[in-house]
């Protein structure tokens, strides 16, 4: 279970408050629960000159707070994504193979930035869906397969909602064929929650099984761990869980896609159910 953050504003801004200073900032979420530490890496993504820039580390964010704060302060952008990682390991690889900068998030390519919270339980089978994009996979993080599938779909002309639904449907079809090869797993994925951007719009997608959503959130412990939330306004922020107690947070439930954009003076958004 990782933690996600996304922000969009009508002018280039810093997300330092939400990433490091708020009562339940992403930094605080990483260390507030000793049983669920988010200690396997972190990353901050933003846009400069229309292209993604990413600062990532394989170290626990709470072990290099000053570097993290410095990166958050420098990341002034209309769109900012961030991620703290608790590594999944569906292949059962040695820990030293899964903890690296290449496996930290966000991932980026072209104009796309992406971060995922969840586990793709059949990453090797899912990699077969990528076609020519398979050669671009850099690490062994199952989340990277999800990213490249979306890139492939979007560059192929699919709408965002079609790409997201298409990945889930493809996983389900694969599962019908390969489930007997994975007797310890109940389904092809655990959580497809994601924040991502094309540089103009910010998207947040929440998708999980209620079977996986019973544990509480890390900081305030007042919502299911996989249920996301967002707060409209200037800026609009979306996260795996509430970042403070100030109110105005709206749940983003399983199957809902949040789309936000700005017109130079204000931020607009819509939330729709796609599953």
Q: How far apart are CA 13 and CA 31, in angstroms?
A: 26
How is domain 3-273 classified at the architecture level of CATH?
4-Layer Sandwich (3.60)
Phi and psi at residue 60, in whole multiples of 5°? -60, 135
Residue burial 227-251, b: 16+ Cβ < 10 Å; e: rest: bbbbbbeebbbbbbbbbbeeeebee
Q: Give residues with Cβ within 8 angstroms of 48, minimum separation 6.
A: 77
Q: Residue 131: CA atoms inside 13 Å, Cβ hemisphere, count?
A: 7
pLDDT, residue 182, reads 97
Q: Is the pLDDT of residue 259 over 70?
A: yes
Q: How far apart are CA 191 and CA 254, in angstroms?
A: 9
pLDDT bracket for residue 142 (50, 70, 90): very high
Residue 196 tokens read as 């991502």
Which sequence spans correspond to the domains of the chain? 3-273
List % helix, strand, coil for the chain (3-state, nearest 5): 30, 30, 35
Work out the percent of the chain whose per-residue pLDDT is above 90.
97
pLDDT, residue 210, reads 78
Q: Is the pLDDT of residue 112 over 70?
A: yes
Residue range 43-86, pLDDT digits in tens: 999 999 999 999 999 999 999 999 999 999 999 999 999 999 99
Give me the chain's average pLDDT, please: 97
Q: Is the pLDDT of residue 127 over 70?
A: yes
Residue range 209-244, pLDDT digits in tens: 877 767 899 999 999 999 999 999 999 999 999 999
């Amino acid at each position: 279970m990782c933690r996600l953050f996304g922000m969009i504003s009508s002018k280039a801004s810093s997300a330092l408050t939400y990433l490091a200073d708020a009562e339940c900032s992403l930094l605080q979420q990483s260390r507030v629960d000793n049983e669920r530490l988010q200690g396997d890496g972190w990353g901050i993504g933003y846009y400069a000159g229309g292209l993604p820039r990413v600062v990532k580390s394989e170290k626990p964010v709470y072990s290099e707070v000053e570097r993290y704060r410095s990166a958050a302060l420098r990341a002034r952008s209309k769109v900012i994504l961030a991620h703290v990682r608790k590594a999944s390991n569906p292949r059962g690889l040695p820990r030293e193979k899964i903890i690296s900068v290449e496996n930290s998030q966000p991932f980026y390519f072209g104009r796309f930035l992406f971060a995922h919270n969840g586990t793709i339980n059949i990453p090797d089978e899912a990699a077969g869906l990528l076609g020519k994009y398979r050669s671009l996979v850099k690490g062994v993080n199952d989340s990277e397969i999800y990213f490249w599938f979306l890139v492939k779909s979007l560059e192929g002309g699919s709408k965002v909602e079609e790409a997201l639904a298409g990945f889930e449907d493809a996983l389900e079809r694969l599962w019908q064929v390969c489930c007997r090869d994975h007797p310890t797993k109940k389904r092809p994925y655990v959580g497809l929650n994601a924040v991502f951007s094309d540089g103009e719009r910010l998207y947040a997608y929440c998708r999980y099984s209620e079977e996986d959503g019973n544990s509480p959130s890390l900081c305030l412990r007042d919502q299911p761990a996989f249920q996301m939330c967002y707060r409209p306004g200037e800026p609009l922020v979306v996260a795996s869980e509430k970042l403070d107690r100030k109110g105005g947070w709206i749940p983003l439930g399983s199957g809902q896609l949040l789309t936000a954009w700005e017109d130079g003076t204000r931020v607009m958004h819509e939330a729709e159910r796609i599953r």
